[in-house]
Amino acid sequence: MGSLYALIALGYTMVYGILKFINFAHSDIVALGGWLSFVLATKLFPALGAEGSLPWWAAAAVMLLCMGACALLGFLIEFLAYRPLRKAPRLNVLITAIGVSLLLQNVGQLPFVFGARPQPMPALVPVEPWIIGEVRINPVDVLVTVTAIILMLLLQFLVYRTKLGTAMRAVSFSVPSASLVGINVNFVISFTFMLGSALAAAAGMLFAVKYNLQQTAHPQWVILGLTAFVAAVVGGVGNIKGAMLGAYLISFIQQLGTFALLKGGYDNASGLKDIYVFVVLIIVLLIKPEGLLGKPTREKV
């Protein structure tokens, strides 16, 4: 779960680092990524249920297609909804983001799109657990964790070791200054949206592999995105390493909290795990509002 939170939180933190606003439609792109992976897996490989799990190259192809489709969707959202409001008040952009979120949720429920019924995700990896001593390891957990870590390392390399990453950091520092030195700001912003949407799609597919798919307007997706947003805030919104740190920290606290509630005799322990998330958020905002790895900003009055 920490790896999934990290992939989603990276999209929040990159967009905030560039444009200084929260894209509340991000969790809906995660949902669409999960549903697109379901459609691609069932349409491209209709005999999957009879033959078992996909070969690794087929699962990788489904993920790449899903990431590409959501990256294109991210570009369209930025170009059509956010770019015209770039100089508008922040409240206008916030309302637009909520509107885009509601649009994606309801379009996804149309009968000719994904429908309003939950669906079981086909097995993309072997379902038999690996037994090491007394420890049971599920292959799907290994797939989720390893894939997420590889994607995060690639993002880290892109941002800190390439010219495009340098341009992204320059735009994040100052849009006017980046324009003065010849950086195509519109391209960098669009690419950031596309990159964040692609990571969200990967998280949606990995989430769908581990859990069943709920309808696109189900609160499950909202809670997933909200928890990832809290992870970004806890780690330091706008900081890539902080988003990853906050995601794993939030996940560990959730799991340990659930375990403690189970030990205490609570039957609905999993339903109460989100309490710990928001308690941590409140504590961090009170003690270190810029986040664990964030830097305090000073403004001249």
pLDDT at 50: 42
Q: Using one digit for the tens of pLDDT, what is the confidence trace for 238-269?
A: 788 888 999 999 999 888 888 887 777 666 66
Q: Using one digit for the tens of pLDDT, what is the confidence trace for 13-67?
A: 888 888 888 888 999 999 999 999 988 888 877 655 444 566 777 788 888 999 9
Task: Inform me whether the pLDDT recorded for 74 exceeds 90.
Answer: yes
Counts for the chain of helices (H) and strands (E), in that order: 12, 2
Enter the pTM of the model: 0.89
- The distance of Cα 246 from the centroid of its chain, to the nearest Å, equals 13
Q: For 162-272, where are the alpha helices, taking DSSP H only? A: 163-173, 175-180, 185-210, 219-235, 240-263
- What's the rounded mean pLDDT across residues 190-204? 93
Of the chain, the percentage scoring pLDDT greater than 70 comes to 92
**What's the CA gap between 104 and 217, in Å, rounded?**
9
Closest CA to 101 of 77, 80, 122: 77
Other residues' Cβ atoms within 10 Å of the Cβ of residue 17: 20
Surface-to-core class of residue 3, CB atoms within 10 Å of its CB (0-12 exposed, 13-18 middle, 19+ buried): buried
